[in-house]
Amino acid sequence: MGRMAARSELGAYLTARRAQITPAEANLPATGYRRVPGLRREEVALLAGVSADYYIRLEQGRERTPSAQVLDALTAALRLDEDARLHLFRLAGVGPRTTAAAVPDRVEPSLLALMDAWPHNPAIVYNRAYDVLASNAIADALFHGWTHSRNLLHVVFTDPAARTFYRDWHEVARNSVAGFRLGHGAAPNDPRVRQVLTELLDESPEFADLWSHHDARGKALERKRFAHRDVGPLTLTMQTFDIRSAPGQELVVYHAEPASPSSDALTLLGALAADAPVRRPAG
């Protein structure tokens, strides 16, 4: 991505962020007719302590060198969390971006062995493009053998069965796009990341709409509700870990509350998966 493209992305991000903050949330009076949702450019400039002309130039891509001090001021004005702040700094050319030609696609054998040792905990490893690089047997059973795709975004947005499999599909969709946006900001030139983005923009209007919101947010501890065709409803807690030996890869592990109906369903799922082969990354 060239420098002008990066600045256009920065401007789009600032525009999207200020559209999501009301004057009341920013402790500003909501006076007069407002042609835009959220805050006006002049209001963001006031909150950040910069001139309105300077802020306008930032949104229009005509200002190319915002300082870290200005970016921190914008972080406060736009009420960004840590993930959103990191994304802002990357777009401005201040935060680190990877120069790798591609997202790593090899999973360490020791990690594969560890995942195999969790027969009752679905576990997957995926990259910035949301390609599942490895999964244990119970994860394969949870995701129905990955018959549609082994790319999580394709599963969410292009598999019709996902609308019932994920009981909170809209929340899953929002969080997936926000996580993908954060990874895209770290490696915008990665060919696989760009390929998946192009595919989803072409194939899914819902993905395209969520992408236009510019949410950037990493995965955190959260609960997911599934409706599985073999074992029924499950509510699982999802833990996500960065894999330090392979930047861009993340390990996701699911578990159920002990002695809960979901725990019983997960035990049954594990029994069904006991004889299934574990999927391995290609190469």
Nearest to 196 by CA among 155, 161, 250: 155
Contact 125, 249 (CB under 8 A): yes
For the ranges 31-35, 36-40, 89-93, the one whose mean pLDDT is highest: 89-93
> Residue 82: pLDDT above 50?
yes
Does 147 share its domain with 228? yes
Does 258 share its domain with 125? yes
Look at residue 10 and give its three-state secondary structure. Answer: helix
Confidence of residue 26 (pLDDT cuts 50, 70, 90): confident
Report pTM.
0.83
pLDDT tens figures, 196-212: 999 999 999 999 999 99
Q: Which of the two residues, 275 and 116, has the higher pLDDT score?
A: 116
pLDDT tens figures, 168-180: 999 999 999 999 9
Residue 41 within any structural domain of the chain: yes
> Residue 6: pLDDT above 50?
no
Can you give the CATH number for the domain in which 42 is found?
A: 1.10.260.40
Find the helix or strand (DSSP H, E) in which 240 lies: strand 232-242
Quick one: pLDDT at residue 103? 52
Contact 249, 107 (CB under 8 A): yes
Residue 281 within any structural domain of the chain: no
CA distances (Å), 189 to each of 75, 101, 238, in order? 25, 8, 29
Does 19 share its domain with 114? no
Residue ranges making up the domain that contains 196: 109-273
